[in-house]
Structure 1
């Protein structure tokens, strides 16, 4: 479901649901996860699931788990435990597939030092899998999408383009070898990036997933009441993305994502259609978008790259109304 439909559906709930003093982060800012305060601890809760992104059950399970865990890391938290969310077809799936998915997810949870407590399974014509996750965070050091300040630098910790690449693979326009670099990044947990962001006093954070870069950045500027300027030439992009776009590959949600974000996006770079596709391409297990004090950004970027992240400084936060602008 796209952001416009989600806002229409959830809008009434922001007033109907009692917030209470213990709810630190609720529905109001469309953040990555909710945060509930209890006995001096901030509990961070989220749920997510996705459709298959490759032909290997274990790797799909691992990526789906990483995608779900990412919301916890985007809030500056550490996962405590998770529940499997299994939407599995009743027929037409090779033996061992479901077990492989669960084993891949369990491996990601083990890496994250999080426990698996169970889950829920339903029959579904289309295979989907993910996790409901609860984590913990320091109540005084929670990362939200609402703290970006004028003068901050914007850092992105993974390249863009997974939506188009996954669909290119599914359509047989690219092979598994070409998808492999993106698949490895999708398997990467955002744990280290989150820890480094906290170390460098990051002001705001979100993860780039199903709404694409422009959609999630829009949520950040609206929650923070600032303007964001993106340097398009600085955006990291996976090899093969533009080739797939030239071959007509897109995603089912890109059109709606673009329609939602474009009214608040000024194109001062003269982008062509393929470049605009990158801004709105929905990501699976994407990187963290961080708004960082300019005095800290170089140090954070260096440590991210030293830790193996394909990170880049992609723009800055400006004083102004909630909108985005793109320059060369």
Structure 2
């Protein structure tokens, strides 16, 4: 008779070299990899591809429907397996919402070190993801799993939008104001957690933010005066603002002091808590960012901090901004605020 030996539950984050959206390839590395991707111009129904580093692909089904498709997965950012599943699923669905679409279907992406994790932990991860999809009204209709060296979980997410509701990251216009819907600092929270320096209040804020669905994006689709949307994730506020600037061929003027921060994040940043991805982000796109003289490194770290399941960055006409802010506050994004503006000029970010 073979004796079954029960596995001791490991600390989930100890099984991975990185976590959350901090696992993403650095922007410069990704650009190099994608540089020789074949052009998609031969597919006239492909409305959004890789050209502007948008949040999802968009395919015209007919005159009334556009299919939005994306995939997102990463390694654990927290040790609680159910919470990890929730965070990963929320993050994956965000790309659909950022395109102004309604999610309709999800497929699970699962890679787990089976011999190092109890089956019950894996079940909890999947249950966490399924709970978020249920809250979004989306079935997890299948997926694919492998035995991998590190735990990986995420989703393929599909959504639908009308052609006139589709939002891109490249549609900004001169004079548009930029609205950010969630505070910054999730990456710093994650680094503090790994260093056992995150208190209970910070952890609670981290979970609340990373599991808050960006459903406001669906409401923004087709809204008058809303010209562009993207979600702020692994490249930080600076990186995703720069993608907006490049897509529109405009300059983003960003007000650093206006960006909302999660509780306690500034103190952690001042004390040198940061992720490795923050530095990689700056090395990748810092040449396209203009900082004020004497701008402190910790402040720069806040702007390059990778946001797992971060907020939406919305470009809206000045006359539409008040309505967008009201909508955000009504939908539970209490920290939503104006953080900058798009202006004529070279595609760069100028920080003040």
TM-score tier by shorter-chain length is: over 0.9
Q: Secondary structure at the match of 1:206?
A: strand
Which 5+ residue runs of structure 2 have no aligned equivalent?
1-24
Equivalent of 2:116, from 64, 80, 92? 92
User: TM-score, with normalisation over the residues of structure 1?
Assistant: 0.95
Whole-angstrom CA distance in 2 between matches of 1:71 and 1:10: 19
Task: Give, in angstroms, the shift of residue 322 of structure 1.
Answer: 0.4
Correspondence 1:47 to 2:68: no
Which residue of structure 2 aligns with residue 29 of structure 1? Answer: 52
Whole-angstrom CA distance in 2 between matches of 1:248 and 1:266: 22
Which residue of structure 2 aligns with residue 182 of structure 1? Answer: 206
Task: Give, in angstroms, the shift of residue 94 of structure 1.
Answer: 3.5
Q: Secondary structure at the match of 1:239?
A: coil
Which residue of structure 2 aligns with residue 312 of structure 1? Answer: 337
Deviations 1:4-23 (A, max 9, x none): 111111111143x5541110
Larger Rg: 1 or 2?
A: 2
Task: Give, in angstroms, the shift of residue 2 of structure 1.
Answer: 1.2
State how 1:252-267 maps to structure 2 within 5 Å: 252-267=276-291
After the TM superposition, which of the residue ranges 279-288 and 248-257 deviates more from structure 2? 248-257
Q: Secondary structure at the match of 2:164?
A: coil
RMSD between superposed Cα atoms in Å: 1.5
8 A Cα contact 1:197 1:290, kept in partner: no
Q: Secondary structure at the match of 2:78?
A: coil
Deviations 1:226-274 (A, max 9, x none): 0111111110011222222234322121112101221111113742011
User: TM-score, with normalisation over the residues of structure 2?
Assistant: 0.89
Task: Give, in angstroms, the shift of residue 213 of structure 1.
Answer: 0.7
Aligned residues: 326
Which residue of structure 1 aligns with residue 175 of structure 2? Answer: 151
Correspondence 1:162 to 2:186: yes
Which residue of structure 1 aligns with residue 4 of structure 2? Answer: none
Correspondence 1:38 to 2:61: yes
Deviations 1:175-211 (A, max 9, x none): 3442111210110000124414643431001000011
